[in-house]
Amino acid sequence: MLTSAEGLDAAREHLGPAVIGIAPIADASGGHFSFADWSAGASHDLSLSLAPLGPTIARWRKMPKGIERLREVGLILLSRLVTRDCALMPVRKVNHKRLWSWSESDLLPTVSAAALALARTGYLVKRFVDRVHDCPSCASSRIVVREECKGCRSANIKDVAILHHLRCGYQAPETDFLSTGELPRCPKCRMQLEHFSVDYDKPGHLTVCGACGRTDGSATIGFSCLDCGAHHDASRITTRDIHAFELTDEGRMAALKGGSGANCRPDADEASLRDKITRFIREAEIRHHPAHLLMLRVDPMPGHELPGPGLMVSTLAHLNGLLREILADRTEIMLHERTFLILIAGHGEDAIRAALPTITEKLARTTAARLHMQFDLIAQPDLLSVAA
């Protein structure tokens, strides 16, 4: 039971990470902890029953002996989901720069990396929740999407109907037609237009900018970041998919066996990858550089088949070159099927995310393959847990 805003820090001093991450939690602090299984609220009578915790407590008691000594974040996360009998769900937070976060992050700071790793091994399965746009300048997802003038990029635009005078054939924006009372008058032949579809019609609309006066057939879409104020065209904006993670039968079995009897140990390839990550982090630390892992999945665009082997090989080779060209300070790139695992040192998270639209744009211009690229970026604190 956490009885104050400082309760979690106090618990960490006396309890191991498994107890913090798995044991049922009651919040009697007035609602400070969104991850709690039960909250008393600011004015709740603490003498009332904690009956809502009963099912979680019962599942906790059925977990394997020694569960409180677990150190592996992946197994702790699996055990937490089993004891709650739920999925790992992202939470939308409008005051959060990235718009979505995990309530469990306060308990397990590396929950995002752990969930991705468990999904790759089949213990969790990803389920699509939302897709957000990220600012290439600061990686914020708090972006205003708006229609703008193609010339000056002002949002001060309006749609104006086109009038077509059927008698003389003249057509122009409705605002160009002189008005006599409530009836328009053609500026070319000066005839008054009385009846719609007899004297005139309206074949379409134009977009007129109130800032620069430009007239276009349509507006363009622009993105304005609420955090850094940067403005971007649609071609520069990256998208990021938000997922929930659901337990598979294999993941539930791994948790109930505490990792024993289940395929929780990495295979040779995964062990090799972890060795490379650990070595890369150490080398980056010596140079005082931040280290990140960028996972880039390459798939065919919807409605298109995967390119033939020859085109796919050349496309991936070209992508490999682009990654080294744009992220040139210090990179190590590994390819597993159609997923690039890119270890990056010397770049901050914002700089890496800012480079992603350029990578996407250049690849689209230089290859005949219609490919969709999905990025997952793991920062150094989470990267350490992947290598653990």
Q: Which residues contact 174 (CB under 8 A, 6 or more apart)?
A: 160, 161, 162, 163, 184, 202
* Per-residue model confidence as pLDDT tens digits over 331-376: 777 766 566 778 888 777 777 888 888 877 887 777 666 667 777 7
Task: Write down the pTM of the prediction.
Answer: 0.62
Domains and CATH numbers, the chain: 150-218 (no CATH), 266-388 (3.30.70.270)
Q: Which two tokens stand for residue 322?
A: 């682009």
pLDDT at residue number 267: 41
Contact 117, 386 (CB under 8 A): yes
Give alpha helix (H) positions in the chain: 7-14, 17-22, 54-61, 73-84, 111-121, 249-256, 268-286, 309-326, 349-366, 380-387
pLDDT of 388 strictly over 60: no
Q: Which residues contact 331 (CB under 8 A, 6 or more apart)?
A: 323, 324, 342, 343, 344, 345
Could you tell me which of 158, 145, 172 has the C-alpha nearest to residue 218? 158
* Per-residue model confidence as pLDDT tens digits over 36-67: 888 876 445 554 566 778 889 899 888 988 88
* Per-residue model confidence as pLDDT tens digits over 6-26: 888 888 888 888 888 999 998
Cα–Cα distance for residue pair 232/370, rounded to 1 Å: 24
The one-letter amino acid code at 120 reads R
* Per-residue model confidence as pLDDT tens digits over 305-325: 665 656 656 666 777 777 777
What mean pLDDT is reported for the chain?
A: 80
Contact 231, 222 (CB under 8 A): yes
- The position carrying tokens 């609420």 is 226
Q: At residue 42, what are phi and psi to the nearest 5 degrees?
A: -70, -35
pLDDT at residue number 273: 65
* Per-residue model confidence as pLDDT tens digits over 255-299: 988 755 444 444 445 556 667 777 887 887 777 777 888 877 766
Instruction: Output the DSSP codes for 12-76.
Output: HHHS-HHHHHHS--EE-SSS--TT-SEE--TT--TTS--GGGHHHHHHHHTSPTTGGG---HHHH
Q: Which two tokens stand for residue 105?
A: 């992050």
Could you tell me which of 304, 267, 3, 299 has the C-alpha nearest to residue 121? 267
pLDDT at residue number 261: 41
